[in-house]
Amino acid sequence: MMKKVLDLICVIMFFTLIVMFAFSTLFFSPEPVDMTKDTDEIDAQLFASFPLQGSWQTLRTSMLLAAGKTEIDGSFLVNGGVIRPSEQVSSKATDRLTGSINDFAARHEDIGVYTCIIPSPSGIYSADLPSVGVGFDQKHYISELYSSFDSSVATLDAYSPLYSSRENYIFMRTDTSLTSGGAFDVYSSCIRKMGFSPRPYSDYDSEHALTGYIGSLCNELNIRQRITPDNIELLIPKNGTVVTSATGYGSGSKEKHKSVYDRSALSTDKPLDVFLYGSRYKKLDIATINQDSPKLLIVKTEQTDPIIPFLISHYSFVTVIDADTASDVTLEDLVSAEQFDQVLFLFDIDSLENLRMDIFLEEQE
């Protein structure tokens, strides 16, 4: 009986909002609707003019969840979190990536060149998604991608350690980002192939920097029900950080810091920028106390930021180039690769389609 009453209330509220939507669009729209546009553009303009669109989205999501739905606008509720299936990477984007990195390795034969592609949650948890929502086989794709690199490019496996730890908290539940635990698993696997023994987990103290975090994916979908909010955790070395300075270079600006963690970001609407300052800088130079250790150049996308603090402890100097923020320049505009012993291309799989590697790695004339 109670369920029937709730269903009736949902129906009444739904049609009430539909009437309000029509009324507000007709009489309170900030600008006339251009009926000469195509259907999608008209729908977008009508929805944008609706003064209660935020409440409408929230109510719509609540009604779908109350009706037992586990799919919201192409994303799926899984084990207290939300997973959005990744889209297939086109052959054009794949060829652009492999061609650019192969070309870079050919031009820098004396440098150790490494590539690591981080899978998304839908690649690791594909078995928990309905068959229509799996997206594509990321394990197979990464394997095929790696086989396209020349022998001079060493490939690092991030899929296997993440899949082995899939029962642990390795991805944010409300976002697509790695947790510090997931980042540590990737680091431990990759650093071995780069010639170092990983520091054990017991060398770190866990700092719960922020609790109750609701990530961008849940915010976009207006989902608050049936999810478990995230915790942003920092793993801090017990014997102290090796970092002596971190100098960031933006568009004509230079800022110096004492840490690779921006704790001020925790009180903003982008708290995950705590890792390496998000995409604030095109280049971040990190000096450490390890004066006799090798130097590392990392070209990365933002989703891989939580991995980098672990890598830093093995090097004397690390330069991090943000492939998104620095996409309007060439690598040679920012740094001379010959100054480094190793170069790591560290990208998440969702970034590959729009990553402008052909321009970013093009050698200056």
The CA–CA distances, whole Å, from 172 to 47, 94, 153, 216 equal: 30, 27, 30, 10
- What pLDDT does residue 364 have? 45
3-state secondary structure of 263: helix
Quick one: DSSP state of residue 16?
A: H
One-letter identity of residue 246: A
Q: Rounded distance, CA 130 to CA 139, Å?
A: 18
Q: Quote the DSSP letter at residue 261.
A: B
Helices 91-107 and 138-147 sit at what angle, rounded to 10 degrees? 40
Segment 132-152 shows an average pLDDT of: 90
Q: Is the model's pLDDT at 42 over the cut of 70?
A: no
Q: How far apart are CA 12 and CA 17, in angstroms?
A: 9
Provide the pLDDT for residue 119: 97
CB atoms within 10 A of CB 93: 18
Confidence of residue 131 (pLDDT cuts 50, 70, 90): confident
The answer on pLDDT for 20 being more than 90 is no
- Compute the distance between CA of residue 331 and CA of residue 91 in angstroms, rounded to an integer: 24
What local confidence, expressed as pLDDT, does residue 132 receive?
A: 61
| Cα 301 from Cα 355, distance rounded (Å) | 9
The structure's pTM equals 0.83
Q: Lowest mean pLDDT: which of 54-58, 271-275, 300-304, 338-342?
A: 54-58
Nearest to 263 by CA among 234, 293, 299, 305: 234
Q: Which residue has the higher pLDDT, 116 or 53?
A: 116
Q: What's the average model confidence in pLDDT over 36-55?
A: 51
- Rounded Cα distance between 311 and 299, Å, is 13
Identity of the amino acid at 222 = N
286's tokens: 């990190």
178-220: per-residue pLDDT in tens? Answer: 999 999 999 999 999 999 999 999 999 999 999 999 999 988 8
Q: What's residue 291's pLDDT?
A: 93
Q: Are 293 and 314 in contact (CB under 8 A)?
A: yes
Distances (CA, A) of 343 to 16, 319, 357: 59, 10, 15
Where does the pLDDT of residue 6 fall: very low under 50, low under 70, confident under 90, or very high at 90 and above?
very low
pLDDT at position 334 is: 92
pLDDT at position 286 over 80:
yes
The answer, yes or no, to whether residue 40 has pLDDT greater than 60, is no
**Pick the residue with more confidence: 321 or 27?**
321
- Mean per-residue pLDDT, 106-110: 95
Question: Are the C-beta atoms of residues 118 and 155 closer than 8 Å to each other?
Answer: no
Mean pLDDT of 246-258: 91
**Amino acid symbol at 301:** T
Token representation of residue 28: 């309170």
Predicted pLDDT at 302: 93
